[in-house]
Amino acid sequence: MRAVALYGTLGSLVLSALVAAPAGGADPLTAEARGVEAAAQRAAAAPIAFGRCPAQESLPASVQCGTVRVPLDYAHPTGRQIGLTVSRSRASGKPAERQGALVFNPGGPGASSMYFPMVAELPDWKRLAGAYDLVGYSPRGVARSAPLSCQDPGDFAKAPTQSPSHPSASYKRERIAQAKAYAQGCARNAGDALRFYTSINNARDLDVLRAALGEKKLTFMGASYGTYFGAVYATLFPSHIRRMVFDSAVDPDPDQIWYRNNLDQSLAFERRWEDFRTWVAKHDDVYHLGQSADEVLESYEKVRARLTREPAGGTVGPAQLQAAVLKAGYYDDYWASRATALSEYLKGNAEPLVQQAAPRPESARDDENGNAVYTAVECNDAAWPRDFATWDHDNTAIARVAPFETWDNAWMNLPCAYWPAPQQKPVDVRAEKGALPPTLILAAERDAATPYPGAVELQRRLPGSVLITEKKAGTHGIAGGANACVNGYVEDYLVNGRTPVRRASCAPHPEPNPVSLDERSAVRPQHVLPAL
């Protein structure tokens, strides 16, 4: 998945040495399954030694940090080990009220949840923070967890760059060359380790983390891509699950992982882009960008054209504009700030757009690292079309009706067409009836990053799961957000173990209020904690 990189997109099926285990649990005969068991036993015998967090984590004193060791290759559990960084805030309630650890993953692949324990200080998290140790971590390859890099961070953040909705043949050739070079950079930097960045290994690592936390059974909340490898975990380790929340579910059908999911996502972002433009048009008295979605599109295209001729601040070109506005497709918290930036730019004030869209040199290393892990995991997880003609045909057809995001999405994933490491057969996510405790699936009806049919498919594959739908809404990641109805279901499930019978719906959260440039200082800034 593109730009914010929350879950991803890839294609068909190729066999590999790491084949999914049957739904009843990990196959005890496989070397990898024995390796997970051995690693978990070691972790349980030597729990994480939590202490003061390193300064580079920028975490408050109330949060402790530690490390869990996991095998790079579970087929050789005593071989090379990598350290995964872990953060924790202790349950604040009475000892008798403690229910164990709640582990969170925000997606990606390539995202860290080391910040997660800080939500313990938020009023809406009081009951959960009282009942649980809140645990975050950086998955393999991310941040300080044996970091992966495929490209010089400075080159990755190079700007300004172009973002044509209907690219020319010469531009396509340029992007093919870049994709090949990126894939080669991943192989050169990671060496033989590259093939071990996979969703199935992320699930195995999660079981070792469970053991290292002293938990016999796992309580887990995954958002976006976190729902996918959480579902893989449920397939491989059903007897190890206590409670599990899947927030904004990836479609786990092996035929969708990942190429077809990517194509579906591009179509869904077109609808969400129209949602944003319709809202902007509704508030034309504030933004003066047009009184209809089509008129707002005309204003946006004017901005793109001007940035093509003269990048704002020397660094914001069409691609930087696209990446900034794409965030409005994920989270409607961005709608007011993005509309203000477009409006001010057309009035001659480029500063808000530069502030929102210009690359930040201080984050270049983290951004490149996240993209590298994203690429490695998704390229390894499944087979992608190896001929560009397939990509060209499929994305050209979709761009005719969904030009907003289609080709940028394709370029982000194109290194997978030239991937040098073995590509796996995707895990066939499923569980036997009665094998899992009740699990909770959350989905917004108009989510573009993980389109709603994926949540329906996940529920079909996990008998006993319950689907909570936020109707007529499209924010990606809805737990802990602005919808009290959704939050009530999540809290009741995690604290009391209660769920509705099979499905329930929540009315949409309120639309954002339009905010002019002068008024923004009075608005609470967007949180950087999980939109769970």
User: Any bridge partners for residue 15, and if so which?
Assistant: none
What is the β-pairing status of strands 241-247 and 218-223?
Answer: parallel
Give me 348's structure tokens: 């001659």
**For the packed helices 259-282 and 318-330, what is the interaxial angle rounded to 10 degrees?**
90
Secondary structure element (H or E) that encloses residue 468, with its range: strand 466-470
Q: Which of 209, 206, 244, 250 is nearest to 378 (CA)?
A: 250
DSSP at 448: S
CA distance 104 to 50: 17
Containing 172, the helix (H) or strand (E) segment is helix 169-190
**Residue linked to tokens 């019978």:** 501
Task: For residue 341, give the H/E element and its range.
Answer: helix 335-346
What is the residue-wise DSSP string for 79-130? S-EEEEEEEEE---S-GGG--EEEEEE--TTT---TTGGGGGGSGGGHHHHH
| Cα–Cα distance, 436 to 465 (Å, whole number) | 9
* Annotated catalytic residue, options 224, 266, 299, 337: 224
Please pick, among 240, 283, 476, 509, the residue that the annotation labels catalytic.
Answer: 476
Known catalytic membership, residue 255:
no
d(CA 208, CA 144): 18
Strand 64-71 relative to strand 81-89, pairing: antiparallel
Paired strand residues for 132: 100
Is residue 287 within 8 Å of residue 280, measured between CB atoms? yes
224 is catalytic: yes
Residues in the chain: 532
Q: Respond yes or no on whether the N-terminal peptide bond of residue 60 is cis (omega within 30° of 0).
A: no
**Residues paired with residue 219 on neighbouring β-strands, in sequence order:** 102, 243
Give the CA-trace dihedral at 420, 425, 430, 436, to 10 degrees.
-50
Angstrom CA distances, 381 to 6, 45, 426, stand at 16, 31, 6
Residues labelled as active-site residues: 224, 447, 476
